[in-house]
Structure 1
């Protein structure tokens, strides 16, 4: 770097908001600008950090892609084979005839539950046991490849028969290599020691804990004998875990009752065979279950039929006894018959009552006189009810009585009552009346007897009718279980016939809609996804690196950051000085007047002239936040450039605690500003010459105990006024304002205070300190200079990395001396590109 002060950051640096405290007399700002602390995205810094991190980002992306390639290279592909089954749902309750229409929703829920039950059945030990009996899953054969081992499912050049007595040999690796057409070498570790040897194919090998025999297959060729093989014998627990891990059974569509069976394995043929075999053993298990279920149903039906038959016999006996005891079998028919009889009896009673009443009326009429009033009518015509009298004698006598009465009436017209004719007729009439009365009494007695008999019958029928409901209830109570037993018996007999038919032609209640097919491509790993993840991971780590470096980037890198964050005017940029390595600041503009650094300082001098063009005498203070930012280097070389322009310049070193100006000129620091202010030496005694005739300097002198008090004294002002009598420009190298307050006191006296910021060294918080100083002390003419700026990162200039703080034209453009270059290596070119 151009200025290598070889100093560490002082422990007295304040917090991130400012730096040092203001002098007691300096008024503090009452708030400050909100923009000073407002965080924002610095695009220029982000681009700079991204450019510097581009190589790392490319390396991280390459690392991610390489990791993906390695993952694919050393990961076995996984294949998936699947079949689709449709389960035919049936309600067993409805099969027995015991379910109704109201149970339909419950049947649907039960169907879903049955699908879940079928899933559990397929993944149960019942199917696993049948599967292991059908496929040889207890032995896995492998061949060693260049990188990975491959399972030889169905194509192994040998097969093994074994009997293990030592369980520790399960899940153990047995290495096998052919040493001849019929010879092989077997090696494994058993019971804590290596076992094995050379054996022949088909030979029974008895070793501790195991007896086995290796048999050749059709795949045993000369080429196959050159490979290295091994096999593993698995126990039931391991096989079950293998099946549980790779077998997936899921309900695809509950409404369609479809189930998918899939299996994942490194070998596609093995995955297909296992799925197809699961379908087969599931079919066999369902048939066995169906047959067993039908047998149990038949056995249950026989028990129910036997119980139902016994109950039916007892019900029939109870009904038979009741009918025998009561004589009642059809209560409804008896009720109708009794009702009809009662109606007929009531009609007969009415007739008899009418006849009795009629006979009474006839008797009354016969005893009173004429039975008819019309001479043209007979007794039957005058008394219509007389036709219903079944006694013809009574009718005859009534007619005779009626004739006798009419004869008496006609005779009484001609004769008197004393005559024989009248008296004889009256006697006949009385006689006839007596006969009629006797007949009427006799008939009335017969009718009353008949009426009494009818009343007795009615009472009997009424009693029977009243007792009929109890008999009917008891009869229905006895018939109800009888009908139920008969109906159940007939239904169960019908179901027994159907179950016998089902047993004769039992079929599984599912269909294989889509059998397992050999998988064409592996499901895992997906090469595109793996590479995409690797690429995304590399990009993510690269972006994370950029983000981390951006958020950890707390220094000023370029002039854009400086201009955006500071309130002071950017006076110029001083590029990196890399011609030589300097342990302390040196005057370099006199040795390299055409170099880029000299031209950049000339540009700063020009801008200073524009700022203070009206003043012939100028006091310029140069300060920074901390030591090491290059204020001494800028002071010495800026003074040299001003002196080379024809002005008389003197440099004062007021950094009395760590003086460096004398080191820049290779002089002593025996006397200087401190001895002048205490009046030990005069100004002329302390002025020291430099390599430039019009520029001198006064060193700091011995370190006093009270530098601030000396600067505040009147002696300091008198010294400045005396120096202005001989010099045009006074340049003061002040102490860092972030460590002590001396620099602030001097900046108040200066015409132009300059604040040095070193690229990639000064923290961004230092700029906030500078802004705070400007607000607190009203430094309206403060300017800042970016020192040690990289030519590619500064963002200004024309190849040398410096620019012009106020937009004025370059001084001596086209006059610059190009730095000496040398051929760069490829690595240096790459580094230069990314930096």
Structure 2
């Protein structure tokens, strides 16, 4: 089992140094850009390719095997083809009528396309099936594949089928003697079998058969197994459609190529030659009939079009007579003009009505003041706009009376007879004006009503114009269409008669079909090339997929190549037992491979910090699950076994695990020390090794980072150094929180744990950034959970690294088993 802390791999993989770390130094920007730039890891690619070599060989072998099987069980396809020239010579130009004819170049493509469709029509198919008997296929069974006996069958069949389900059924035939055979088939759910003589009528349910011998009977082996299949018309047509190809080779030369593909080369040749003959015969025999039919069709279309033209003319004429409308655009202009004139008259009448209303209002007013100082002229300055002479006269009279009343009012009082008579005259005149105003208002209202009626009538006519226009356009559209078609058909008929009178047909087979020498499919070289290429592509795809999916550190070579930190060593996979949590194991197995590897790491640490007797070592990783707690506990155990006093501090206050490694409680610890709730001595807990103690993380505080940054933490470290030689600190993962970075800055030797086949390569870049950003020049790294196979170094690398003399292999090995490897294990070992 691999060493782990029973935590899942967090999805959060930070490409930065972690939250809260110091920003990168400007001088490191260039190096960082180099690290981030995408590059091909040649060593990893070679490693993946080597591990995939066996798969690539198997895939290539599989591809070549598939090609061989395809060629072995695929019938070869043969192609036979002929070249036909269709020459349409037109002699109309000799009559001086060439200018009236359609250009030949424009119709050439359509003509050739029509010839292609004729060749592939049911007319040719039906005659081809009758002439070559394509409705019955004869076969002989070979070792693997069956072969069709086209024209070389030792027997032929006549049939009459009433049950259509028997089409495409297989009838097995085997010769018993030169004149006798056995026939077997499965029809209507029951197998039918019998022995018959040639020419004998075989009456089975749904079918009647007769089998006759041919001249090929003596040349065939009687022991061979034969069978035949009867096809209906649709099946024969589908077979011809699938394998027949008719293409226009050269438009200018009017050449058409006819080709046919089949498993039997002789059949392909005979079908092509027969199609040539049938097409030419059909073309010549139907030429006159086609000409006559086309002329009759033109006459029929002309007659129908003429009748439609007459009906369209009658409908348009009736509509014009009914509505009196032929030019809707002109009517629209006339109505618009009338509407404008009516609107002008209405505005004038409205103005008159407004003026009369003002006059009526003035005339109906009583005396406003004692002197009635407002005269008509002053109250109604626009009196000149009143067109009624009598009304104007009365208004002027009223105006004169008012001025006279104003004049005499200066000399007389209101009670004098003179003033009273003037007021009586003014009252009489006002009454007269009111009567005249009422008459004029009635006349104006009557005139305005008449104008409104005219406007409404014109508006109605205007609203009906779109429907009239639409109906008129609807009636004119078929009239124009029929008229145009009639002229075109007449012109086409004249041209057709001229062309047919001067055209002669000339058919020539330029290249008759010949028996194909080699099959066109399958191409053996291409098939094997495809199989080889397919195997190679699948193998390369597998390598590429495994390479791009290889995003973890797998061995110490990759770790050395990607990191700038010193590699202290490797810790092999611990598979003795399954551990739910990290535990101290070096005290129980002091001679095990893991103990020796950690002992080698302890020795390398001594070389790094040989001048210091007191050391503070921090152990961190990028994320949980990389084994930092396991390394901390067991590295502390190895150092303690060497005689030094060791104290382990669990500063992963968010997820403490050191107490779990020793099976202790986490009631008090670092957090309670830093808040002065407990003393250091109260929190120190013993372990199974006398010279090693630990302090657990304590209850999780809300502010671990602030506690670490406090002076109390430094005082705690100073106090611990008075009693201990080595302080090992288990810090939180630096990829998730900032606490670990704060501790790494204080530590004499910061250790960074990388777990093989678990830690991603991006984590190493994170570690390099940490070194640059925080100036961690003494940063070291350890490869944890490394596999002993395929690493290239083995345990000896971890043990000898840093000694200066140690060759690879210097160190302790467990005795390997002497059980011989199987062949599969040897192959696996070789490719790994």
Cα deviation digits, residues 568-625 of structure 1 (max 9, x gap): 5132330424573452545566777787656654554455445444433221100112
The answer as to 2:768 corresponding to 1:760 is no
Match of 2:59 in 1: 60
Equivalent position of 2:338 in the other structure? none
Please give the alpha-carbon distance, in whole angstroms, between the structure 2 residues aligned to 1:661 and 1:811. Answer: 34
SS at structure 1 position matched to 2:52: helix
| 2:626 is the counterpart of 1:624 | no
The 5-angstrom pairing of residues 374-773 of structure 1 reads 509-513=507-511, 515-559=512-556, 561-563=558-560, 565-566=562-563, 568-577=564-573, 580-581=576-577, 583=579, 584-585=581-582, 601=598, 604-605=601-602, 607-609=604-606, 611-643=608-640, 647-655=644-652, 659-661=656-658, 673=670, 680=678, 682-683=680-681, 686=684, 688=686, 690-691=688-689, 695-700=691-696, 703-705=699-701, 708=704, 711=708, 714-771=711-768, 773=770
Answer yes or no: is the 8 Å Cα contact 1:794–1:802 preserved in 2.
Answer: no
> Counterparts of 1:31-180 in structure 2 under 5 Å?
33-35=32-34, 37-85=36-84, 87=85, 89=87, 91-93=89-91, 97-98=94-95, 106=103, 115-178=112-175
1:105 Cα deviation (Å)? 12
Aligned residue in 1 for 2:7:
7
Once the two structures are TM-superposed, the CA of residue 240 in structure 1 deviates from its matched residue by 2.3
Alpha-carbon distance in 1 for matches of 2:799, 2:509: 85
Give the deviation of 1:686 after TM superposition.
2.8
Of residues 272, 278, 281, the one that matches 2:278 is 281
Aligned position for 1:821 = 816
TM-score by length of 1: 0.63
Structure 1 residues 167 and 768 mapped into 2: Cα distance closer, same or farther (>3 Å)? same
Does the residue aligned with 2:94 lie in a helix, a strand or coil? coil
Counterpart CA distance in 1 for 2:791 and 2:828 is 17
- Give the SS at the match of 1:21: coil
Partners of 1:261 and 1:735 in 2: CA distance:
81
| Alpha-carbon distance in structure 1 between the residues aligned to 2:559 and 2:827 | 28
Query: Equivalent residue of 1:97, what SS?
Result: helix
Q: CA deviation at 1:246?
A: 1.0
Residue matched to 1:317: none
Unaligned runs of 5+ in 2: 293-499
- Work out whether 1:217 is the aligned partner of 2:214: yes
Answer whether contact 1:659 1:699 (CA < 8 A) is retained.
no
Distance 1:600 1:109 in 2: 90
Q: Distance in 2 between matches of 1:720 and 1:103?
A: 114
C-alpha distance in 1 between matches for 2:785 and 2:230: 74
Contact (CA 8 Å) 1:184, 1:201: kept in 2 or not? no
Instruction: Name whichever of 714-723 and 643-652 sits farther off.
Output: 643-652
CA distance in 1, matches of 2:236, 2:105: 36
SS of residue matched to 1:629: coil
Coordinate RMSD, CA, aligned: 4.4
Residues 602, 635 of structure 2: 8 Å contact kept: yes
CA distance in 1, matches of 2:545, 2:283: 63
Whole-angstrom distance in 2 between the partners of 1:731 and 1:184? 96
CA distance in 1, matches of 2:632, 2:753: 10
Q: Per the alignment, do residues 684 and 295 of structure 1 end up closer, same or farther by CA in structure 2, a change over 3 Å counting?
A: closer
Higher mean C-alpha deviation, range 260-269 or range 272-281: 272-281
Judge conservation of contact 1:576–1:597 (CA < 8 Å) in 2: yes
8 Å CA contact 1:64, 1:538 repeated in 2:
yes
- Cα distance in structure 2, aligned partners of 1:111 and 1:579: 84
Q: 1:687·1:696 contact (CA, 8 Å) conserved in 2?
A: no
CA distance, structure 2, for counterparts of residue 177 and residue 800 of structure 1: 78
Q: Indicate conservation of the 8 Å contact 1:557/1:793, yes or no.
A: no
Q: Distance in 2 between matches of 1:640 and 1:771?
A: 29
Deviation string 1:143-163 (CA, Å, 9 cap, x unpaired) is 344443332222333211112
8 Å CA contact retained: 1:596, 1:816: no
Indicate conservation of the 8 Å contact 2:796/2:810, yes or no. no
Residues 526 and 639 from structure 1, CA distance in 2 versus in 1: closer, same or farther, beyond 3 angstroms? same
The 8 Å contact of residues 137 and 239 in structure 1, kept in 2 or not, is answered as yes
**Structure 1 residues 418-472: Cα deviation after superposition (integer angstroms, max 9, x where no partner):** xxxxxxxxxxxxxxxxxxxxxxxxxxxxxxxxxxxxxxxxxxxxxxxxxxxxxxx
Unaligned 5+ runs, structure 1: 297-494
Tell which deviates more after alignment, 703-712 or 545-554. 703-712
Output the CA distance in 1 between the equivalents of 2:2 and 2:634.
Answer: 12
5 Å-filtered alignment, 1:187-198, equals 187-190=185-188, 197-198=194-195
| Alpha-carbon separation, structure 2, partners of 1:607 and 1:273 | 89
Q: Secondary structure of the equivalent of 2:95?
A: coil
Q: Using the alignment, how far apart are the partners of 2:795 and 2:7 within structure 1?
A: 30
Equivalenced residues, count = 618
Q: Counterpart of 2:91 in 1: which secondary structure?
A: helix
Distance 1:722 1:517, change over 3 A: same
